[in-house]
Amino acid sequence: MFIPAVGFDPKGSKGDIEALAKKLSPITYVTAKFPPALIVHGSDDKLVPLQQAKDLDQALEKAGAPHKLEVISGAGHDDKTFVPGVAKAVQWFKDKLLK
C-alpha cells in the first residue's frame, strides 16, 4: 500500500524497486558521522518488522554512531508506540542534542 506513496512504480522491475528502497533506507547512510539517532519501535509492530530497527541499531553500533533503540513492549505501529515515543524523543533531544 505504500509503494505509490514513496515513489515506487508498482509496474517497475524488482531491481528498480530494490534500488529505490536502498536509496530511501537510512541504514544505507550509516557512518560514524551519522547524527544522534533515537529508534523507537513497538515489539508487536505488524507493519514494520522489529528486526529492521534491530538491524539499524546494529549498523549504528558498528559505525560508532550515537544512538539508542527503545522497544515499547506490546505496542504496534500505533499510539501505543507513538505516545511514549514522543516522551522518549523529547528526553533524547534534551540529553543528546541540547548539550
**Same domain, yes or no: 50 and 15:** no
Residue 2 has pLDDT above 80, yes or no: no
**Same domain, yes or no: 48 and 74:** yes
Q: Give the whole-angstrom CA distance, residue 76 versus residue 39.
A: 14
Q: Give the whole-angstrom CA distance, residue 64 versus residue 9.
A: 35
Helix (H, G, I), strand (E, B) or coil at 68: strand
- Give the Cβ contact number of residue 41 at 10 Å: 24
Q: Give the whole-angstrom CA distance, residue 98 versus residue 10.
A: 42
**Same domain, yes or no: 7 and 55:** no
- List pLDDT tens digits, range 46-88: 989 999 999 999 999 999 999 999 999 999 999 999 999 999 9
**Same domain, yes or no: 61 and 75:** yes
- List pLDDT tens digits, range 25-41: 999 999 999 999 999 99
For the chain, how many structural domains are there in total? 2
**Same domain, yes or no: 25 and 48:** no
**Same domain, yes or no: 21 and 52:** no
- Here the cell at position 33 is 558521522
Range of the domain at 91: 32-97
**Same domain, yes or no: 56 and 10:** no
